[in-house]
Structure 1
């Protein structure tokens, strides 16, 4: 052993074994390895050592040094427990106890550090803190809070058998929390211009919007500038609207959130046939909170004033993989990367969002929950989608 220590032998030439029980039914107990030779530079000790302890030999000693009472492992370490206890007994050290539980597996995710390392090294993700990664830093950057992760852990518990947890449960936990805590703001991700033709040119007014209707008293509020020209979502207008379409279309009326009821009078198309401008009239007596018009409409849509809107980069994150159970994929798992796991758009946001701080969570009304990314600056605002308002993925899977 001293000669091994002194570097006399090459890698693999000699090992140090414990004299245990070669007749044991547990293969781990058949004179297990304790030390091996490895001539490699260590990240802390450099080239001082060329012998290194095997995991099973070091495991119990490390736990004992730190007075670990319960050493918790995954199920594959059940056969190792006998050897773990044997080394502790023979060395007469602090008697830590090994317990096993099932590894956490989540649909559409890889939880293996080896596979995650490959994702990072092959630049399939931006890094360990990529918001699509199941790491603490990745989840934090995505907008997940500590409370939502703890709630998720409480719900799934600790099991003694392998299982596969639905990713939708993780999304449910963050939705439940952010619904109660996230401030509401308006952002238009796919804009089309609306001109309110009977609203005086050059006129502006300040409306009021509450921060969170789920909180007592609305959790305060903010000012909403309003003007003659606004952006709405392109999907909120249909040239030939079906019967139960309660948004904008020729002759249809809809309420602008925290503002007025408007009616579509006509629209303009470009040469490609795409709608570029919608002309509407508004009902002055229909102002939110002071509505005396007597008109009831079934639909309410969000908007931003073109004159006051800020721009922002919005990153729409979704599941990283297309395969539900990635444990069944042993190789070439990069072929299962979801091509739509990240979509980036330029959005128009209400001006109050320009004051948002890194890590702050918001609900973009009717679009989902978003958080301010760590790379966001005053000149280039960046928002990451944490989760949609509803589980849209399940519907897409069902369709396919």
Structure 2
């Protein structure tokens, strides 16, 4: 269980709740997480879940999971399953049975009738475009619909016909009668009900009219006894409508809505609409693509539940919109894996090295630690043999400024092994390097290296031919080229074409003998996660969580 004290002391919502408790406004605190089942959850949802869950637990209250299922056109049962899976994976358990907004459709229908009887709602025949045009702009006030002044009796009759399926989809809707000249556009007679001839995953074909988010959300909160309805800042204007609806229907509870800043992270998006655009254009492979900030994508990339929660608790809750640096997220997983991930050597872009002065078939056994700073992780054997692999990026034919790797005619130290010197390059007819012939220095095993005295350029990683097992490495980089991609309408023009690089190389052959371990730090390359779900016996896949190299 997480300790929430520090998180709360910096949280303005905490102070509001403290005052409510001191004034005895509430005896129990009830919160909820109400996702729409039209996509997968993302990192912004984790922030909301952390806030709502921790508030309830801190005050010994209740935390509900409510599926906001009011639009069967975009909803799918698979999203509901993914929502429940993500919450459980994160370690959050909701109180009572999972709730659905559709559970309250009968009650909401009656409240709609109540508003019609109070002459606070009317059935409109304007189409979607006309409603938008009549609504006006921030500068131009709206104008009344020609159907706004229908009698209560006529509105009741038309609304009943809407429910019975007498009209075509899009031809009629129910709107609140508020103020078409309001400075807040949302209050210019918002739509409360619309016709949709879609089978609903919970109610089947019982209904053909469905409440809008604004109408259903506040009523669901009130029915469930939610004390503090927490949402992000883009719903600030919705609070006025939220209160208007509750104040004009006969309902006991009146929850209070409070807004906090949305979670925006550099180079990433969380908009479901934009994610669908990326999927449709085959920029990403699906909702669980590791380049996305969805929970399933982050999980597949290798992020742990604890690292994601720690990130959300670290950034806190404020009313100020900003863009969080991606390094803040990465530092949370790095902090965990630096202690927990065993070290290993992997070659992502293999280049063969032949050791000329080592006899064919001879193997020199080397005992190396699984973690340089944690002896409890134990040791393992690797073998130095005549043929080994290094990374092709660790070799250059010519001298380069500040290049501290293998150069023709120069020496490098092999990690945990000997110093070698490059003597000869073998190329094919296309001038591609096939292998490098080197010699090794027998008396350099285990000695402290003085780079100047021994003319050693640096230390590089390697794998012997004997130890090598083929593997595929997915190197994930920022999906977009712009830090704050949310400022742009056409996100496709800023997609990073190098957001995914695939390498075919080698890992140590006994690396996966412990089935429980899926996290590794590959020397000089980065932290990687064994993608067990998408791997097979002949295709072992590792996803890079974050790199250790700079300017790579």
Q: More deviation in 200-209 or 139-148?
A: 200-209
CA distance in 1, matches of 2:181, 2:448: 87
Specify the alignment match of 2:89 in structure 1. Answer: none
Q: Secondary structure at the match of 2:472?
A: strand
In the alignment, does 2:481 pair up with 1:308? no
More helix by proportion, 1 or 2? Answer: 2
Out of 342, 356, 375, the position equivalent to 1:197 is 356
Q: Secondary structure at the match of 1:62?
A: helix
Kindly report which structure 2 residues correspond to 1:160-179, keeping only aligned pairs within 5 A, or say none.
160-179=319-338
CA distance in 1, matches of 2:263, 2:476: 22
CA distance in 1, matches of 2:191, 2:528: 51
CA distance in 2, matches of 1:59, 1:86: 13
In the alignment, does 2:315 pair up with 1:156? yes
| CA displacement, residues 185-240 of structure 1 (integer Å, 9 cap, x when unaligned) | 1111122211112222211132122112243x262222212211101112222222
In the alignment, does 2:367 pair up with 1:208? yes
CA distance in 1, matches of 2:434, 2:408: 14
In the alignment, does 2:543 pair up with 1:384? yes
Q: Secondary structure at the match of 2:511?
A: helix
Alpha carbons of 1:380 and 1:23: their partners in 2 closer, same or farther (altered >3 Å)? closer
Kindly report which structure 2 residues correspond to 1:40-119, keeping only aligned pairs within 5 A, or say none.
40-89=198-247, 90-119=249-278
Q: Secondary structure at the match of 1:153?
A: helix
Specify the alignment match of 1:266 in structure 2. Answer: 424
Specify the alignment match of 1:227 in structure 2. Answer: 385
CA distance in 2, matches of 1:191, 1:25: 65
Q: Secondary structure at the match of 1:355?
A: coil
CA distance in 2, matches of 1:31, 1:274: 70
CA distance in 1, matches of 2:516, 2:296: 14
Alpha carbons of 1:275 and 1:28: their partners in 2 closer, same or farther (altered >3 Å)? closer
Q: Secondary structure at the match of 2:323?
A: coil
| Equivalences, count | 389
Between the two structures, name the one with larger relative contact order (CA 8 Å, sep ≥ 6): 1
| CA displacement, residues 259-291 of structure 1 (integer Å, 9 cap, x when unaligned) | 112222333233333332222222222223799
Alpha carbons of 1:250 and 1:15: their partners in 2 closer, same or farther (altered >3 Å)? closer
Contact 1:230–1:306 at 8 Å: present in 2 too? yes
Alpha-carbon distance, 1:249 to partner: 2.3
Contact 1:38–1:51 at 8 Å: present in 2 too? yes
Alpha-carbon distance, 1:150 to partner: 2.2
Alpha carbons of 1:11 and 1:266: their partners in 2 closer, same or farther (altered >3 Å)? closer
Specify the alignment match of 1:396 in structure 2. Answer: none
Alpha-carbon distance, 1:254 to partner: 1.7
Contact 1:131–1:138 at 8 Å: present in 2 too? yes
Alpha carbons of 1:12 and 1:233: their partners in 2 closer, same or farther (altered >3 Å)? closer
Q: Secondary structure at the match of 1:45?
A: coil
Q: What's the TM-score once normalised by structure 2's chain length?
A: 0.65
Contact 1:175–1:389 at 8 Å: present in 2 too? no
Q: More deviation in 365-374 or 33-42?
A: 33-42
Contact 1:179–1:214 at 8 Å: present in 2 too? no
Alpha-carbon distance, 1:42 to partner: 2.4
Specify the alignment match of 2:304 in structure 1. Answer: 145
Alpha-carbon distance, 1:360 to partner: 0.9
| CA displacement, residues 107-159 of structure 1 (integer Å, 9 cap, x when unaligned) | 22221111112222332211110111110000011111122222322332223
Q: What's the TM-score once normalised by structure 1's chain length?
A: 0.88
